[in-house]
């Protein structure tokens, strides 16, 4: 008997995280889909896309945290409604789903790292839409893993590391908040964990982040030192930067649950970040 390779369908394949998963799975039986050819909110397209899949990895998302309040309809369509439709199709076709979610499902008030079982309480529209996606997936399917990630950076997308480094090149002084905590997490490393889980098919919610933690100010200091930038960084508080969307102050994750399934220990945040900085 020959065992056919698993057919994996990757949604959001051109995004910052999706593109890393696509690279890792390049030799597998992978169908990579994204806008503009594929729209997850088009139920007919979604049905066709997943009908022959064994595994669907969903990285497609409305990710503009700041604009989500003024474009809430689209945020909920992509991050919630479409995930509910995916769940129903997956149940009908017996497909294992890995769905990517976020620390923004929490309010950030907890003083210690968030567990998968902690109470959710999103504080902005993006977080609300992502939580609704998690809820609809769990309500409509029973063969899935939700992997929440936080503070991700990678080569194929705007992220807080590149957003810090670009203005620094033109400024002598840059203010960076020192009251938001998380773990700068490489999408390349997150992609490896996601692909490993796709093969192991665990069920439930998992938190993934680099080991250790830092404030945004700590992370900026580390990056600027490695890049030998002369810009002076001044610590400040989130209140000084009013934004359209509130952000959780604590984005730290406890990753014991996912770590128990992974072949290798998750690296401390500094090492992958150093490797990334060498490439920009």
Which positions lie near ligand NAP, rule CB under 6 A? 12, 14-18, 34-35, 38-41, 59-63, 78, 100, 102-103, 130, 149-152, 157, 159
Of the listed 126, 153, 208, 217, which one is catalytic? 126
Least Å from the CB of residue 17 to ligand NAP: 4
User: Residue with CB nearest ligand NAP?
Assistant: 15
Instruction: Please give the Cα distance from 271 to 280 (Å, whole number).
Output: 15
CA-nearest of 102, 81, 84 to 147 is 102
The smaller minimum CB distance to ligand NAP, of residues 157 and 212, is found at 157
* 3-state class (DSSP) for residue 148: strand
Based on CB atoms, which residue is closest to ligand NAP, 215 or 232? 215
Closest distance between ligand NAP and the C-beta of residue 25, in Å? 15
Closest approach, Cβ 232 to ligand NAP, in A, equals 26
- Cβ closest to ligand NAP, residue 127 vs residue 174: 127
C-alpha to C-alpha distance for 167 and 153, rounded to whole angstroms: 17
Q: What is the Cα–Cα distance from 27 to 156, expressed in whole angstroms? A: 20
Cα(131)–Cα(147) distance, integer angstroms: 12
- Within the chain, strands assigned E span 8-11, 30-33, 55-58, 96-102, 144-149, 152-153, 173-177, 181-182, 185-186, 204-208, 214-215, 232-236
Identify which of residues 62 and 222 has a Cβ nearer to ligand NAP in the complex: 62
Q: Which is nearer to ligand NAP, 1 or 275 (CB)?
A: 275
CA angle 87, 89, 91 (to 5 degrees): 70
For the CB of residue 186, give the shortest distance to ligand NAP in the complex, in Å. Answer: 11
3-state secondary structure of 206: strand
Q: How far is the CB of 241 from ligand NAP (least distance, A)?
A: 17
135 within 8 A of 125, measured Cβ to Cβ:
no
Q: Is 208 a catalytic residue?
A: no
Residues carrying an active site annotation: 126
């Amino acid at each position: 008997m020959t065992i056919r390779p698993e057919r994996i369908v990757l949604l959001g394949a051109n995004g910052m995280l999706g593109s890393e998963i696509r690279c890792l799975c390049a030799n597998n039986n992978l169908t990579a889909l994204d806008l503009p050819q594929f729209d997850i909110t088009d139920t007919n397209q979604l049905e066709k896309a997943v009908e022959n899949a064994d595994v669907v990895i969903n990285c497609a998302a409305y990710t503009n945290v700041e604009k989500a309040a003024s474009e809430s309809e689209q945020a909920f369509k992509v991050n919630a409604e479409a995930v509910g439709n995916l769940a129903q199709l997956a149940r009908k076709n017996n497909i294992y789903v890995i769905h990517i979610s976020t620390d923004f499902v929490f309010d950030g008030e907890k003083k210690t790292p968030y567990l998968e079982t902690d109470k959710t309480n999103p504080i902005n529209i993006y977080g609300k839409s992502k939580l609704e996606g998690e809820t609809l997936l769990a309500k409509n399917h029973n063969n899935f893993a939700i992997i929440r990630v936080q503070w991700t950076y990678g080569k194929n997308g705007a992220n807080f590391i590149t957003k810090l480094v670009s203005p620094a090149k033109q400024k002598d002084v840059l203010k960076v908040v020192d009251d938001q905590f998380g773990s700068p997490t490489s999408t390349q490393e997150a992609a490896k964990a996601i692909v490993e889980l796709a093969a192991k098919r665990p069920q439930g919610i998992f938190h993934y982040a680099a080991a250790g933690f830092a404030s945004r100010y700590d992370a900026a200091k580390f990056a600027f030192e490695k890049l030998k930038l002369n810009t002076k960084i001044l610590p400040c508080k989130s209140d000084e930067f009013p934004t359209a969307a509130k952000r959780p102050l604590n984005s730290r994750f406890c990753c014991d649950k996912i770590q128990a399934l992974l072949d290798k220990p998750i690296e401390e945040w500094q090492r992958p970040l150093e490797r990334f900085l060498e490439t920009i």
